[in-house]
Amino acid sequence: MGTISMDLRERILTSYDHKEGNREEIASRYRVSLGMVKKLLQQRRRTGDIAPRHRFSGPKPRILSSQQQQMRVLLGKKPDLTLAELRQAMQLDCTLPAIHYVLAKMGLTYKKRRSAPANKLVPTLRGHAASGGEDRRDSTRPN
């Protein structure tokens, strides 16, 4: 279910303020849950605002922007740090995937280059391989 409109939020609160019923009756009149009425009253009492608060939902970031700048500096000095070494150097209390996602969001990637040259003893096959199934007689697909 989506967010309820500001107009409906205002009508719910106006009905409650004018004592047009208790919370349960107001919830059934406006076809919202009792929990929604309670949350709306609590939000108004706590913040004074009744607008949707989606931007505050979800998990809070474990790595702050100041720490991201510090990561950028550390990786500028030593670009081959592993995620575990980066976590240890910065004394972060988060998972390795959390660091990976932050680095990806910052546009930083970690890809090691091969230290050995490519094998020149065995040449690779030039050209395209035949596609499978074109000339197979035992195919179950009708032609």
Q: What pLDDT score was predicted for residue 38? A: 96
* pLDDT exceeds cutoff 70 at 127: no
**pLDDT tier for residue 124 given thresholds of 50, 70 and 90:** low
**Alpha-carbon distance values, 137 to 42, 48, 134, 143 (Å):** 72, 75, 9, 11
* pLDDT exceeds cutoff 90 at 79: no
Q: What is the pLDDT of residues 8-52, one digit of tens each?
A: 999 999 999 999 999 999 999 999 999 999 999 999 999 999 998
* pLDDT exceeds cutoff 60 at 102: yes
DSSP H helices in the chain? 6-17, 23-29, 34-47, 65-77, 83-90, 96-105
- Dihedral (Cα; 36, 13, 46, 2), 10-degree rounding: 40
- Sorted by where each begins, the domain ranges of the chain are 6-56, 65-105
Q: What pLDDT score was predicted for residue 80? A: 85
**pLDDT tier for residue 59 given thresholds of 50, 70 and 90:** confident
The tokens describing 29, both together, are 């009149």
Q: Which of 59-63, 68-72, 131-135 has the highest mean pLDDT?
A: 68-72
Contact 63, 102 (CB under 8 A): yes
Helix 96-105 and helix 83-90, axial crossing angle in degrees, nearest 10: 90
Output the pTM of the full model. Answer: 0.44
Q: What pLDDT score was predicted for residue 62? A: 83
